[in-house]
């Protein structure tokens, strides 16, 4: 097989100052020896929380290496080709993959070549349009692994972006659980209702066994701490970038013996790490996307060429969009 080249394809680059552009991105991301595939992108999607921080130059210097995406080109704060929600069709590669739709943790780019091990074939029951949710589903799964919900747990999910909605949907499928999602935006309620989950704008009950915080806002963490019951676990899934986050660890925090822990999808939860790898986890995430109701989480779409205009709107925080899909 040919060695990697300097061939390029149009890609979206974040400049790190609230602006972006379409420019050339490297096609080859393999060593020329291990089996590889060439993929033509059909859809990608914007991960609003993390990509907004990258787009606005809010990645802390201490996290420049840890927050690199698998196929990132360029360095923080920018220009950087960033992203990890890509669905495409294999045009070159092993016979069993040619013509197949695959998911890859690749940025927004028209065409690329990666090792076969970097792509996961879509299940036949999952359409490529919905498969862009795979990375968000993987994050939600890892969060539940970290939280370890039990049958009958009373669970609150604070913040109803895509990840929060998926966490709530997964938790509600555990027998006997009482799950409530909390978001100040009332327009989230019909979305959660379509997923079979109650959603409220405020929550007073403080008897929850397990609380997931996914809002990305410090006020959401305050809410998470306030609704946790005695001996409860609070899983912090938000990433704040450079933002300072105060947490009320006085009051009832100690008397209730609360446990606050972080969850980050870059590592497999320690509960599963001895038996699962990243490929296993993304395959599980894709299989969970067979549910048609999850289409409700894709609330916007635009063309690849429009990303320099679309991204500032989404990264500004004012949009109600959940998952924004990009077509090529």
- Give the per-residue pLDDT at 48: 85
Residue 187 sits in the same domain as residue 227? yes
Residue at 271 is within a domain: no
Give the domain-ending residue among 214, 243, 262: 262
Q: In Å, what is the CA distance from 327 to each residue of 9, 103, 163, 250, 301?
A: 16, 14, 21, 48, 7
Residue 116 sits in the same domain as residue 190? no
Residue 20 sits in the same domain as residue 57? yes
Residue 304 sits in the same domain as residue 226? no
SS3 288: helix
Residue 172 sits in the same domain as residue 82? no
- Give the per-residue pLDDT at 318: 65
Report the DSSP pairing between strands 111-115 and 73-74: unpaired
d(CA 288, CA 167): 12
The per-type count for the chain, helices as H runs and strands as E runs, is 8, 17
SS3 61: helix
Q: What share of the chain is helix, strand, coil (3-state, %, to 5)?
A: 25, 30, 45
Residue at 269 is within a domain: no
Residue 220 sits in the same domain as residue 126? no
Residue at 199 is within a domain: yes
Residue at 270 is within a domain: no
- Give the per-residue pLDDT at 280: 96
Q: In Å, what is the CA distance from 304 to each residue of 9, 21, 143?
A: 13, 11, 30
Residue at 61 is within a domain: yes
CATH number of the CATH domain containing 212: 3.40.50.720
Q: Residue 90's domain spans which residues?
A: 8-133+289-327
Domain count, the chain: 2
Residue at 277 is within a domain: no
The per-residue pLDDT string of the chain (328 residues; one tens digit each, 9 = 90 and over) reads: 455 679 999 999 999 999 999 999 999 999 878 899 999 999 999 988 899 999 999 999 999 999 999 999 999 999 999 999 999 999 999 999 999 999 999 999 999 999 999 999 999 999 999 999 999 999 999 999 999 999 999 999 999 999 999 999 999 999 999 999 999 999 999 999 999 999 999 999 889 999 999 999 999 999 999 999 999 999 999 988 888 888 888 888 999 999 999 998 988 989 899 999 999 999 999 999 999 999 999 999 999 999 999 999 999 876 789 999 999 9
- Give the per-residue pLDDT at 3: 54
Residue at 197 is within a domain: yes
DSSP 4: P
- Give the per-residue pLDDT at 1: 42
Residue at 64 is within a domain: yes
d(CA 116, CA 91): 12
pTM here?
A: 0.94
CATH number of the CATH domain containing 124: 3.90.180.10
Residue 252 sits in the same domain as residue 315? no
Q: Which long-range contacts does 269-276 make (Cβ < 8 Å, 24+ apart)?
A: 269/142, 269/145, 269/146, 271/145, 271/146, 271/148, 272/145
């Amino acid at each position: 097989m040919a060695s990697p080249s300097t061939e390029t394809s149009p890609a979206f680059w974040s400049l790190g100052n609230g602006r972006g552009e379409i420019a050339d991105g490297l096609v080859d991301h393999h060593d020329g020896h291990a089996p590889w595939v060439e993929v033509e992108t059909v859809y990608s999607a914007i991960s609003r929380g993390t990509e907004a921080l990258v787009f606005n130059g809010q990645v802390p210097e201490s996290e420049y290496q840890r927050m690199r995406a698998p196929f990132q080109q360029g360095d923080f704060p920018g220009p950087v080709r960033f992203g990890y929600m890509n669905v495409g069709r294999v045009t070159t590669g092993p016979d069993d993959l040619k013509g197949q739709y695959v998911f890859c943790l690749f940025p927004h780019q028209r065409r690329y070549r990666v090792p076969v091990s970097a792509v996961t074939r879509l299940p036949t029951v999952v359409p490529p349009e919905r498969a862009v949710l795979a990375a968000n589903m993987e994050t939600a799964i890892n969060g539940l692994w970290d939280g370890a919900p039990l049958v009958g747990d009373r669970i609150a999910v604070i913040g109803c972006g895509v990840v929060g909605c998926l966490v709530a949907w997964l938790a509600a499928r555990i027998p006997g659980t009482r799950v409530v999602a909390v978001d100040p935006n009332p327009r989230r309620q019909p979305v959660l209702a379509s997923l079979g989950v109650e959603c409220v704008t405020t929550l007073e009950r403080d008897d929850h066994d397990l609380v997931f915080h996914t809002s990305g806002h410090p006020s959401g963490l305050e809410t998470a701490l306030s609704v946790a019951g005695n001996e409860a676990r609070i899983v912090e899934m938000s990433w704040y970038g450079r933002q300072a986050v105060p947490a009320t660890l006085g009051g009832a925090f100690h008397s209730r013996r609360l446990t606050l822990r972080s969850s980050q999808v870059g590592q497999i939860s320690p509960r599963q790490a001895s038996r699962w790898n990243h490929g296993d986890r993304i395959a599980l995430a894709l299989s969970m996307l067979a549910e048609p109701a999850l289409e409700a989480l894709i609330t916007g779409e635009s063309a690849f060429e429009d990303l320099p205009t679309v991204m500032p709107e989404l990264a500004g925080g004012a949009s109600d969009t959940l998952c924004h899909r990009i077509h090529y």
